[in-house]
Structure 1
C-alpha cells in the first residue's frame, strides 16, 4: 500500500514538474530567440556536450568492474560497459525502472550473481548521489564566488561558504569510507542475505572518484556548449554544479522518465537563484538534448561492439 502511494506521489510530482516547466518555457518563449538552438555553433556545442555525457558510461563501468572484483566477481570492463550502454535508454520509458530490469537480466545472463549485482548497484546509487552532492555544492560555491566577484551577489553570499563546504566534503568522504556497513544492512534487509559480499572501502572510494570525474568531464562539455550558445554564459562551475544538484532530484523522483522536466525545473531554479534569468532556458533545453544524444551514442556504440565482435554481453568470458 505504501509503495503504491509512493509511486502515485512520484507520478504526480513528475507530471507537475513537466507541466510547470512547460508552462514556464511557453510563458518565456516570447522573449527568447529559440532559433539559436539551430545554429551550427549551437549544434556543435550540443554534440560536444553529448560526447562528454556519453563518457559517463565507460567511467561508470570501470567503477562497477572494480566494485564487482571487490566482491569476488571478475568481468571485463568492455562487457560491463556494453551492458550499461545497451540498457541506458530504458530510463526514458514510463516508470523509470526498465533500465534496472534490463541491466539485471543481462547481468544474470553474463554470470553475475544476483547478490553481488544488488550490492554493487546499491553502492553505485548511493555513491552517485554523494558525488552529486559533493561536486554540486563545491562547483556552485566556486561558480558563485565568480559571480560575487562581479558584484551580483556580493550582499547575499556567505563569507565563509568555501571553508564550510571543505569541511562538509571531508565529512562526506568519511561517509563513503564507512558506507560498506550501510550497504551490508541494505543487502540484509532487501535480500535477507547475511554476510553478503559488499564492496570494500577502497573500491568504493575509487568508484566515488570516478563518479566525481564524470562531472569534471561533463563540465568541459557544458563549458563549450554554453560558450557556443550564449553571448555571456555563466560560470561553467555554476552550470555543472546546478546540473549535478538537479540530477539528484530527477533521480529520486522516478515518476518522470529520466527526470524529464524535474531536472530542468530544478536546474533553472538554481541558476535563477544565482542571478540568472529566462535567457538561460535555451541552455537548459540544449543540455537535455545533449544528454539524450549521449545516451543514444552509448547505445549505438554498445550495439556496434556486440555486432562487430559477435560476442553478446551475456556470454561469460
Structure 2
C-alpha cells in the first residue's frame, strides 16, 4: 500500500494543482469583467502597504519562534542570526519540491551549533506548531463556518487539533530525539553527548506561531479593506477562512508555497458572503503581498548580515 501511495503521490500533486488552477480559471472566466471594474483608491493603497508591513513582521516573528524552539531543545543559538537565516531561506519554498527552505534551515541550525537531529526536529516542529496555531484560530473564530458546514467540520478540526497538540508533547518528542541521537552515534566513531529533549511543553513557540498566523490574518484583512469595506460581524469569518485556507495551502500537496490551494479554498469559503470577483482580487493581491514580503525579508536580512 505504501509503495502504491509513493507511486501515485507525484500524480496526486499534479491532480490537485490542475484541479485548483481549473477552479481559479473558471472563477476568473465567470467574473473577469467585475474584476476589471475594481479600483483601488489612496486609502486602499495605504491598506496594502500596511498589509505588506504586517506580513513582513509575521515572518520576523516566525524566525524568532524558530530560534525559540531551538532554545527549548537546549541549543543556545543567537536569535537575531537565526531570524535572518529564516528570512533568507523563506523564498526557497517556491522552488520545485517545496522542501528547500527546510533544507536551508537545517544547515543554518547546524552552522549555529545544533546537532543534526535537533536541527531537523526544530524544522519539523515549525510547520506542526503553525498547523496547531492555525487550527486553534480557526476553531475560535469559526461560528459562521460551523453554521455553514455543521458539526462534522468542527469535530474534524477539534480531532486534528488534539492530535497535533499531543504530537508536540515532550513525552512523545523526547523519545524520538533520543532514538535519532543513538542511531547517529552508531554510525559515528567519535563519542558524542546524546541530544537532550524538552523539559516542558513548548508553550512559548506555540504562542509565537499564534502571533505569526494572527499577523498574517490581519495583513489579509487589510488587503481585503483595500478592495471592499468589511463589516465587524464578518471579522471572525474572514479570520477563520484565512487561517483554514492558509493551513490547507501548507499541508495539501500542490504547487510550491501553497499557490492555488490557498486561493481556491478562500474563494470557496468566502464566495457565499462576498462577490467572487472581490474575493478573487483580494487573494491575488494577498499572494503578491506574501511574495513581496518574503523577498523583502530575505533582502533585508542579507543586507543586515553584510552590514554587520
Return the alpha-carbon distance in structure 2 between the equivalents of residues 23 and 188 of structure 1: 51
Offset at 1:5? 2.6
**What are the superposed Cα offsets for residues 5-31 of structure 1, whole Å, 9 maximum, x if unpaired?**
323312321232123213322321123
Per the alignment, in what secondary structure is the counterpart of residue 36 of structure 1?
A: coil
Stretch moving more, 263-272 or 52-61: 52-61
1 or 2 for the larger relative contact order (CA 8 Å, sep ≥6)?
Answer: 1
Return the alpha-carbon distance in structure 1 between the equivalents of residues 296 and 141 of structure 2: 27
Does residue 182 of the first structure (1) align with residue 177 of the second (2)? Answer: no
Offset at 1:75? 0.8
Partner of 1:19: 22
Partner of 2:243: 244
Offset at 1:282? 1.2
Return the alpha-carbon distance in structure 2 between the equivalents of residues 80 and 301 of structure 1: 14
Partner of 2:75: 73
Per the alignment, in what secondary structure is the counterpart of residue 235 of structure 1?
A: helix
After TM superposition, list the pairs within 5 Å mapping 1:188-207 onto structure 2. 192=183, 196-202=195-201, 204-207=202-205
Match of 1:215 among 213, 216, 219: 213
Offset at 1:179? 2.2
- Count of residues in correspondence between the two structures: 291
Return the alpha-carbon distance in structure 2 between the equivalents of residues 22 and 231 of structure 1: 25
Q: What runs of 5+ residues in structure 1 fail to find an aligned partner?
A: 310-317
| TM-score, reference length from structure 2 | 0.81
Q: What runs of 5+ residues in structure 2 fail to find an aligned partner?
A: 186-193
Q: CA RMSD in A?
A: 3.2
Per the alignment, in what secondary structure is the counterpart of residue 74 of structure 1?
A: coil
Assess if the C-alpha contact under 8 Å between 2:139 and 2:158 holds in 1: no
After TM superposition, list the pairs within 5 Å mapping 1:112-261 onto structure 2. 112-141=114-143, 144=144, 168=158, 172=162, 175-176=165-166, 179-184=169-174, 187=177, 192=183, 196-202=195-201, 204-232=202-230, 235-261=234-260
